[in-house]
Amino acid sequence: MNIALNVKSNSKEDNSKEKYEEKLKNLLGEQKTNEEIYEENSFEYEVVEFNKLINNYSRYISSPVFSIANRKWQIALESHSKLDSPNNFLKISLIEVNREYSNYTSAKCVLSFRNYNDYSCFSAFDSFLHKFDKKSSTLNSINIDKNDYMDFIKPLIKNNKVVVTVYIRVIINRKTYLEELKKYINNNDDIEIAAEDYYEWKIEDWEGLNEKEESQVFTIGETQWKLELYPKGYKPKEKDYMSLFLRCLTQDLYKHTSVMYIFVIRNYASYTPYFTLQPNNICHFKKNDCNGFYQYFKISNLYEKVKEYNDHQIIENNKAVIGVYIRIYKYNIDYYIEELKSLKKNNIITNSEFIEDYYKWNVEDFTSLKNEEYSPLFKIGGHSWKIKLKKNDKNKFLSLYLENEDVKAENEYLHIAADFVISIHHCEDYSYNKSSSALNYFSKNNRIWGWKEFISIEELKAEDNEHHLPLMEKDSFVICTFIRVYRYKYDLYLDELKYLINIESKDKKEILNQELFEWEIENWTDLKSIEYSYPFNVSGYKWKLELYPNGNDSKRKGYVSLYLNSMDGNDGKYINLETRYVLFIRNVSENSCFHGRVLNHVFKTEDWSYGFHYFIKNEDLFKINKNNNKSLIENNRVNVGVLIQTFNYNEEQYHEKLKGILDNNEKQEKNYEVMEEVYKEWKIEDWNSIEEEANSPLFNVGGYNWRIKIKINKKNNYFSVFLENMDCQNDYSVHICANYVLIIRNYYNFTCHKKQSSLNYFSKDDFCWGWSRFITLSDLLNESQESKKCNFIEDNKLTLAVCLRVYYYDHEKYLNELKFIAKREQTREDIIEREEYRSWKIDHWNEIQLKDTKEFNSEFEVSGYKWEIEVFPLGNSDEGLNYISFYLNNKDVMDNPYLKIYTKFVEVIKNPNNPLCFYTNGLSYYYKNNDNSYGYHKFIKQDNAIKENSFYKIPFIENNATELGLYLIIYKYTKEIYMKYLKNTVRTEQTANFESLGESYYELKMDFSNFVKQDVNKKEILYSPEFVIANRKWYKKY
């Protein structure tokens, strides 16, 4: 036995526990470079009645169990016969209780006996390193013979007591641990390693972690990194897993770093148990790039006990350690090309054959280049390509494109599927690069693809923050492209059709269904002037293709006309389906030879056919592609088809659509200030209990009360929907400008709906607006239609709704309402010659009533005609008794028997102080010689004009004053107006008891210049040619 230290000092400065432990600690020696102290501490065991241990032939005693470095220990003393001969000994041992195996952990210890009352009197034994293997649980054992006992131990025993001390240092062999981690990284012995190291992040409160946590920033190599942890998953779909990522924090925008890394999560108190995971391939990082695992480790497994390690868990005492080992490789051309490969955009094409290659173009003397330059022509995948460089001086950007030379006129209908990457890198350092990638289908209409703003000229020249290296140095840089060309099989043809549809998409709609239909035509030259495909089904609706091999009329001769028809719409059945589709013609045997064009259309009952009048020239059907020696029509055979996408409305898109309709209604009007916009639904829970006429509960929008009204008209098979304002019904003075969409929809989804919209003015005479023929009852009830189609009523439930936008009412809205009323029945043939608004303020209403004539009149001129308004405050006749009478008179027709003037006008009475409190009524009239006055005998009741209204709390006539208004439209007297006048004249004089058999108009043009009056007393009779009206022959006598 070797005594390392035997101290018998009594000096007071040495007589302290701290000095005693420091001396024991020094006996353990200095740490090696690769060793890390995990924990060190001491434990003391006071042995009493020590003589009983020494004087017995065989006796064993042990200390209580104690803990150091999360391991449990005991000190054991054992006598082997009495110490009365040199061969007998006392054994002292340090034992690890419940031994834990570890490859990376070892311990040093020092055992010492001391005087129980004096820290300066002790004898310490030599220490040694012990690994925690499975061979023995005894860490250190010392045999003390009689001589050593007498020399070193017995002098320390006082009052039959002595203290046994152990000082333990548990150390981690970091080198061994890291070497073990390295085994998980794929060996790349032929690649030069630039740097590698390990970082650990100690988490002291796992349960207290936020949704996202970040480690401190650490440096490995020349690059800064950090770990990002989502303890409960990155997204809801990963909620059962912890997510872990490594983020690159380099400040160089275009510096690329190639690494392999391995993540570790382990027990906080021990390097076991632990779990590792690493990517399969080398990862390429640039500024702010992130890489890792969305499902790194199952959360429940963090708390599973591991039998091999005495039932320890990864998370114990709410603690754990997360680590990462990063190996950085020197970036070379191989890594550069591999990174370009990894950037390919394709996630769809999996089993297709391909040819790929790399091309480099050295760009020198960049400043002197023209604004547009091309690389030399090069071949990859059997096709000719070139890179297009363009200086975009306006936006100070460099544009880069990949252009295919094969898909031109001689290969008009050739299609090429290619993944490609375009990249710029520093002339001498591949790690400084910027890349962009795309998957493109090259064709006649899509032969060039790239980026208008690939990089700014400023960024191209800028030096990075760390190494002061630009992409372009000495006015030179390198442009590279990596291209993968796929063999064009049927799945690629189908994918390109989808690609053509999606590239036209401006929004992200939920696809309800997507289906392909192909119609094989065996003998093109035998086709009739119009042909139909056989019916096919998409989304529960029936469709067919309509084909005109030589155009659908004489103007389109020489072209193919092609349309998609909804058979349901053609049959008059309800359909309201939003679609996007591509119509195509292709070679029967060669998938890459086809012509397709895309359309967006909402198929409706009244709009059931849509397509192309000029789909393709007939002569182009037989053009031979030089690349594959194929034409669209080969051996008189061809495929004609369509790929259709139908769309679902989610709630957000549904509301966006309604808002878009309201916005579109506003386009013709300006300065509409919205007071309030609300969407309201009326959910009918029991359709069978609904009466033939029913109203929704009242709702308030813009301070007004509204309701939806429905009517079920079984007699004429229509379902009517209206929007009613309740305030207008009861008050002449209320006028509201409202923009609205009325909707019926399926109770459970937003896709199946029908809507109608309008912008209207609500008043007492027009308090209810809507559609009496909103939808047929058979369409509403979905009678005799397939179950997959739109069912408005489902489970006996239906939803009605309104999206209502109410505007602030001002003077502009007042004039617009008058115009709206006047033009309500205006047709396209009605040409306005002049329209004007006039008003008259009257501050002596009572005096007018007292006049003998009891009227107010005022003359004015519009469009060269003289007019007069005439108002009778007490009525104009017995018919107008108790009413105010209001007329518009024309002066010119009295003097001209042939003059006729067609007008529409609106008469107004309003409060003189509040121009929004008014009452109005509109008329249309033909002024003529014997009828120059028109208006209302009963314009408004006198009582209603002078009493306060319920809305504004003021009357139209207030304090003996009011204001009269007139909105007048004069129309050009066209043939259409002339015909309307004749019809109205005939119908006005028609006896009510007679039924009309028919009506028509006949006109005979006569030249009177040939007629010379010879004798005034002689009469000459002329007859017109015969003409037919109502199946009867007529002639006109002159």
Three-state secondary structure string covering 700-734: EECCEEEEEEEEEECCCCEEEEEEEEHHHHCCCCC
Same domain, 210 and 265: yes
Same domain, 475 and 497: no
Strand partners, 170: 39, 107
Residue 568 resides in a domain? yes
Q: 104 in helix, strand or coil?
A: coil
Query: 465 pLDDT exceeds 80?
Result: no
Query: 456 pLDDT exceeds 60?
Result: yes
Residue 1024 resides in a domain? no
Higher pLDDT, 442 or 1038: 442
Once rounded to an integer, what is the mean pLDDT over residues 290-302? 92
pTM > 0.85: yes or no: no
Residues in the chain: 1038
Q: Which residue is listed with tokens 């043809």?
A: 493
**Residue-level pLDDT at 853:** 55
Higher pLDDT, 93 or 722: 722
CB distance 81 to 57 below 8 Å: yes
Residue 1036 resides in a domain? no
Nearest 10 degrees: Cα torsion 32, 36, 38, 42: 20
> Beta-strand (E) ranges in 892-961?
901-910, 918-927, 933-941
Highest mean pLDDT (candidates 123-127, 160-164, 644-648, 921-925)? 160-164
Nearest residue to 963 via CA among 888, 913, 889, 905: 913
Same domain, 325 and 339: no
- Of the three residues 755, 780, 807, the one that is the final residue of a domain is 807
Q: pLDDT tens across 821-862, in order?
A: 988 877 777 889 999 999 999 988 888 776 545 678 889 999
Report d(CA 262, CA 945) in Å as an integer: 88
Query: 804 pLDDT exceeds 70?
Result: yes
- Of the three residues 173, 194, 216, the one that is the final residue of a domain is 173
Q: pLDDT tens across 912-968, in order?
A: 998 889 999 988 889 998 889 999 999 999 999 999 888 888 999 999 999 999 999
**Residue-level pLDDT at 787:** 43
What are the phi and psi torsion angles at 785 (to 5°)? -115, 160
Query: 1009 pLDDT exceeds 60?
Result: no
The number of folded domains in the chain is 6
Q: pLDDT tens across 128-153, in order?
A: 777 776 665 566 788 888 888 888 89
What are the phi and psi torsion angles at 449 (to 5°)? -145, 140
Once rounded to an integer, what is the mean pLDDT over residues 565-571? 89
Q: Which residue is listed with tokens 């295919």?
A: 404
Whether a cis peptide bond, with omega within 30° of 0, leads into 912 is no
- Of the three residues 288, 308, 329, the one that is the final residue of a domain is 329
Same domain, 284 and 254: yes
Strand partners, 248: 225
* Beta carbons within 8 Å of 766's beta carbon, 6+ residues apart: 728, 760
**Residue-level pLDDT at 786:** 47
**Tokens describing residue 1034:** 């007529």
**Residue-level pLDDT at 981:** 79
Query: 353 pLDDT exceeds 60?
Result: yes
Q: pLDDT tens across 398-434, in order?
A: 999 999 998 876 777 889 999 999 999 999 988 889 9
CA distances 314 to 97, 206, 270, 321, 741, Å, are: 21, 11, 9, 9, 60
β-bridge pairing 3-8 and 397-404: unpaired
Nearest residue to 753 via CA among 804, 792, 803, 793: 792
CB distance 940 to 919 below 8 Å: yes
The mean pLDDT value of the chain amounts to 87
Report d(CA 568, CA 543) in Å as an integer: 8
**Residue-level pLDDT at 976:** 83
CA distances 171 to 106, 128, 131, 197, Å, are: 5, 13, 10, 20
Same domain, 506 and 572: yes
**Residue-level pLDDT at 340:** 87
Once rounded to an integer, what is the mean pLDDT over residues 756-781? 91
Q: pLDDT tens across 471-508, in order?
A: 999 999 999 999 999 988 888 888 888 888 887 666 66
Q: Which residue is listed with tokens 């001969």?
A: 85
Residue 396 resides in a domain? yes
Hey, what amino acid is at 801? A
Percent residues over pLDDT 70 in the chain: 91
Q: pLDDT tens across 10-44, in order?
A: 555 567 899 999 999 999 888 777 788 888 999 99
Confidence of residue 887 (pLDDT cuts 50, 70, 90): very high
CB distance 863 to 901 below 8 Å: no
Same domain, 81 and 145: yes
Q: For residue 468, how many other CB atoms are within 10 A of its CB?
A: 8
Domain containing residue 305: CATH number? 2.60.210.10
The single-letter DSSP state of residue 625 is: B
* Beta carbons within 8 Å of 809's beta carbon, 6+ residues apart: 735, 736, 737, 916
Same domain, 317 and 358: no
Higher pLDDT, 1015 or 675: 675
Q: Which residue is listed with tokens 């394709």?
A: 346
Residue 983 resides in a domain? no
What domain range includes position 478? 333-487
Same domain, 476 and 371: yes
Nearest residue to 315 via CA among 283, 350, 356, 270: 270
* Beta carbons within 8 Å of 1011's beta carbon, 6+ residues apart: none
* Beta carbons within 8 Å of 54's beta carbon, 6+ residues apart: 79, 82, 83, 90, 149
Q: pLDDT tens across 148-194, in order?
A: 888 889 899 999 999 999 999 988 888 888 888 888 886 666 778 89
Residue 1007 resides in a domain? no
**Tokens describing residue 350:** 């999996």
CB distance 97 to 104 below 8 Å: no
Once rounded to an integer, what is the mean pLDDT over residues 892-915? 91
Same domain, 152 and 138: yes
**Residue-level pLDDT at 744:** 95
Query: 785 pLDDT exceeds 80?
Result: no
Same domain, 473 and 524: no
H helix intervals, 836-915: 845-850
Same domain, 347 and 480: yes
Least confident of 301-315, 459-473, 786-800, 1016-1030: 1016-1030
Q: Which residue is listed with tokens 């103007």?
A: 555
Q: pLDDT tens across 39-58, in order?
A: 899 999 999 988 888 777 67
Q: pLDDT tens across 308-329, in order?
A: 777 788 999 999 999 999 999 9
Percent residues over pLDDT 90 in the chain: 48
Residue 1021 resides in a domain? no
**Tokens describing residue 397:** 């950007």
What are the phi and psi torsion angles at 809 (to 5°)? -95, 120
**Residue-level pLDDT at 851:** 59
CB distance 357 to 487 below 8 Å: no
Report d(CA 440, CA 437) in Å as an integer: 10
β-bridge pairing 704-713 and 736-745: unpaired
Residue 777 resides in a domain? yes
> Beta-strand (E) ranges in 267-353?
274-277, 283-285, 290-298, 320-329
Same domain, 439 and 474: yes
Confidence of residue 768 (pLDDT cuts 50, 70, 90): very high
Confidence of residue 784 (pLDDT cuts 50, 70, 90): very low
